[in-house]
Amino acid sequence: MKTEATLAERIAAAIPRGVSVPIPILAHHASGAEVWDADGRRYIDFGGGIAVLNVGHRHPHVMAAVQAQIEAFTHTCFGVTPYEPYIKLAERMNQLAPISVSRKTIFLTTGAEAVENAVKIARHATGRSAIISFTGGFHGRTLMALALTGKINPYKAGFGPFPADTFHAPFPDAYRGGSTEKSLAAIERLFKSSVEPSRVAAIIIEPVQGEGGFNVAPFEFLRELRALCDRHGIVFIADEIQTGFGRTGRMFAVEHAGVEPDLITIAKSLAGGFPLSGVIGRAAIMDSVAPGGLGGTFAGSPVSCAAALAVLDVFR
Ligand SMILES: Cc1ncc(COP(=O)(O)O)c(C=O)c1O
């Protein structure tokens, strides 16, 4: 008890309270599905770093790949001096993606950054600005990702104004009285009252909402949404940051519905505990952005890419 009280006090004294730590157990070491605290107590880790550890803590194959990579080099910035793990991982993600036309993949660092980049790419490819997302959805903590997030407390309150031209449609959440029909009708109403479909660049949806309460989008709804996007030339973005990498029993959750997104955002369990995110998409859309328009200093870290290649081996 003493250790936990001291820890809670140190956290409160040194770290802003906006970084909420509801269970102050100090992680000392971890393996597989278990974490040990500083006093040697063993816990089953149901947190999994928020859907990050689908292959478990410190999987031996992942650790070996990371060790080999840090012996070689840890950073060059892919846009300055490219490296094999990024290229190889892009090739493997392109193969795995449930998209039947030619695909390309960019790597970044956080999930929010993947969402930001998917929006940039969709806007550039369509020449349109508006984005539709869903109530209860969570897309990250940067300002555009927050604009798309459909949950005020604790995420959005007090952080506005957000980037313009974002709209929320009701998620077809059967538990709270929603349905495929109601959500489709609400989108049609949005098109009549708030934004004409010819101005909509993208619709972004989590196939299963995570932060919103583990709500599964009906497969029928995802298929109808795909058809609606096709009718209006809207980019369909599946946010698979939480649902990807085997979490629903398939590599990507949209595979259950047989729906092909135009863009897929990925992160979390992709690199088995190392920071890595990305956007996979139809090559024609991904290539619309001119050289220099995408990237980032740490985007697609070689260490994280090496870890992700090992994670994919483990899945296979
Ligand atoms: C569906 C979804 N999108 C985006 C994000 C944001 O990811 P990150 O916290 O890595 O920025 C999350 C994180 O929980 C998420 O669940």
CATH number at residue 295: 3.40.640.10
Residues 221 and 78 both lie in one domain: yes
54 in any annotated domain: no
CA distances from 239 to 41, 64, 75, 161, 210 (A): 36, 30, 28, 23, 11
| Inter-helix orientation angle 180-193/219-232, to 10° | 30
pLDDT of residue 37: 93
CA distances from 201 to 150, 154, 161, 292 (A): 18, 28, 21, 21
Residues 118 and 22 both lie in one domain: no
Residues 120 and 220 both lie in one domain: yes
Residues 8 and 111 both lie in one domain: no
Q: Is the beta carbon of 50 within 6 A of some atom in ligand 1?
A: yes
Residue nearest to atom 10 of ligand 1 (CA): 111
Residues 256 and 191 both lie in one domain: yes
Question: What are the tokens at 262?
Answer: 């135009």
Q: Is the beta carbon of 139 within 6 A of some atom in ligand 1?
A: yes
Whole-number Å distance between alpha carbons of 114 and 213:
22
Which residues are within 8 A (CB) of 314 and not within 5 positions of it... i.e. 6 or more apart?
55, 59, 61, 62, 272
Structural domain for 273, as ranges: 60-315
Strand partners, 280: 105, 264
Closest among 226, 217, 204 to 138, alpha carbons compared: 204
pLDDT of residue 5: 63
Question: What are the tokens at 315?
Answer: 């899945």
Residues 311 and 210 both lie in one domain: yes
Ligand 1 centroid vs 71 CA: distance in angstroms? 30
Task: Give the end-to-end CA distance of the chain in Å, rounded to a whole number.
Answer: 43
Per-residue model confidence as pLDDT tens for the chain (316 residues)? 455 568 888 999 999 999 988 887 899 999 999 999 989 999 999 999 999 999 999 999 999 999 999 999 999 999 999 999 999 999 999 999 999 999 999 999 999 999 999 999 999 999 999 999 999 999 999 999 999 999 999 999 999 999 999 999 999 999 999 999 999 999 999 999 999 999 999 999 999 999 999 999 999 999 999 999 999 999 999 999 999 999 999 999 999 999 999 999 999 999 999 999 999 999 999 999 999 999 999 999 999 999 999 999 999 9
304 in any annotated domain: yes
Residue nearest to atom 3 of ligand 1 (CA): 139
310 in any annotated domain: yes
Q: Which atom of ligand 1 is nearest to the CA of 206?
A: 1
Residues 27 and 111 both lie in one domain: no
Q: Which atom of ligand 1 is nearest to the CA of 141?
A: 11
177 in any annotated domain: yes
Q: Is 268 helix (H, G, I), strand (E, B) or coil?
A: helix
Q: Which atom of ligand 1 is nearest to the CA of 115?
A: 4
Residue nearest to atom 8 of ligand 1 (CA): 111
CA distances from 289 to 106, 118, 121, 234, 258 (A): 12, 11, 7, 17, 28
Ligand 1 centroid vs 118 CA: distance in angstroms? 13
Residues 273 and 144 both lie in one domain: yes
Residues 160 and 234 both lie in one domain: yes
Q: Is the beta carbon of 136 within 6 A of some atom in ligand 1?
A: no
Question: What are the tokens at 77?
Answer: 């910035």
Whole-number Å distance between alpha carbons of 200 and 167:
10
Residues 37 and 65 both lie in one domain: no
Q: Is 188 helix (H, G, I), strand (E, B) or coil?
A: helix
268 in any annotated domain: yes
**∠ CA 283-314-117, rounded to 5°:** 30
Indicate the number of domains in the chain: 2
Backbone angles phi, psi at 307, to 5 degrees: -60, -45
Q: Which atom of ligand 1 is nearest to the CA of 142?
A: 11
Ligand 1 centroid vs 192 CA: distance in angstroms? 31
Whole-number Å distance between alpha carbons of 220 and 28:
45
pLDDT of residue 21: 87
Strands 130-134 and 200-205: parallel
Residue nearest to atom 7 of ligand 1 (CA): 111
211 in any annotated domain: yes
The answer to whether the CB of 245 falls within 8 A of the CB of 231 is: no
Residues 11 and 86 both lie in one domain: no
Residues 310 and 194 both lie in one domain: yes
The answer to whether the CB of 191 falls within 8 A of the CB of 132 is: no
Q: Is the beta carbon of 52 within 6 A of some atom in ligand 1?
A: no
Q: Is the beta carbon of 214 within 6 A of some atom in ligand 1?
A: no
52 in any annotated domain: no
Q: Token pair 């998917």 is at which residue?
A: 118
286 in any annotated domain: yes
